[in-house]
Amino acid sequence: MKRFLARRLAQALVVVLGVSVVAFFILHLTGDPALLLLPPDATAEEIRNFRDAMGFNDPFVVQYWRFLRGAATGNFGESLRHGAPAMRLVVERLPATLELAGAAMAIALCVALPAGIVSAVRRNTPVDYVSTVVALLGQSMPTFWLGIMLILIFSVRLNLLPSSGRGGLPHLILPAVTLGLFTTARMMRLTRSGMLEVLGQDYIRTARAKGVNESPVIWKHALRNAAVPIVTIAGIELGALLGGSVITETIFAWPGVGRLSVQAIYNRDYPVVQAAVFLLSTTFVVVNLLVDVAYTYLDPRIRT
């Protein structure tokens, strides 16, 4: 078990380092932040002095090493736009992103698991057909389109829910549904296919032949053996919800890390973007590491 965890930790560090390299070099190819931050009438000497002071004239390798050395201590520099520590700005927005991603994942789990199980148990029935159609629609609708439609229907036409901002439960419903529907559809399809595969195994037929009640057969024998791919997709989707809520947060003006990252990209605020990418990628890797550990309890054979 210790070797298993050590190997996974080493792989996680490599992934985080690779993400930091890609994000750093791609971000620095987007343009010169001095042209945005300085007045339009700034002279060439003022621009050059600003770039020297910020270290933008140093070679990319030198800039990356400086970034990596600061990241090791949690110091990503100060925001070029706000003049505050970049990591502090990102951490302040993190609770909003965690709240939205958690609500979206809760919706996905509460809807996808029961629907997928019922769809597999009642295969080729109207319930199965309806679940399949809903899953297809959920994976077909773009997030930006769904969010706009929900705002038009429930905020503009019916005036039932707020269209933007973060507050109580009413503010959370529309963005959580928008963000969670795609995950719900994906997990529903995977749960159905996994349960169908397990329900056709010999040990399930044996349990039924021995007179075991249908409920223990489904929930104890079938679901546990179908849980490994479900846990896999749940972990991947949770990481994706944390890092992929940019569109949803922008549509609903949700004050999370995604919206902050979009604004920082437009402003070429390198420290904030780097801090956000580093934090979200690390969170994604940690979630996947926890999923790997969960495998060993669901199926002890994976430890070898």
pLDDT number for residue 301: 62
pLDDT number for residue 121: 83
CA pair distance 284, 304, nearest whole angstrom: 24
* Domain ranges (residues) in the chain: 2-71, 89-266
pLDDT number for residue 152: 92
In this structure, which CATH number among 1.10.10.10, 1.10.3720.10, 3.30.70.260, 1.10.1060.10 belongs to the domain 89-266? 1.10.3720.10
In whole angstroms, what separates CA 151 from the centre of its chain?
22
Burial of 28 (0-12, 13-18, 19+ CB in 10 A): middle
pLDDT number for residue 263: 82
CA pair distance 246, 93, nearest whole angstrom: 13
Length of the chain, please? 304
Residues of the chain with pLDDT below 70 are 1, 30-40, 243-244, 298-304
Burial of 214 (0-12, 13-18, 19+ CB in 10 A): exposed
pLDDT number for residue 151: 92
pLDDT digits (tens, 9 = 90+) for 31-44: 666 666 666 677 77
Residue pair 293/226 in contact by the 8 Å Cβ criterion: no
Q: Is the dihedral of CA 99, 101, 103, 105 positive or negative?
A: negative
pLDDT number for residue 47: 74
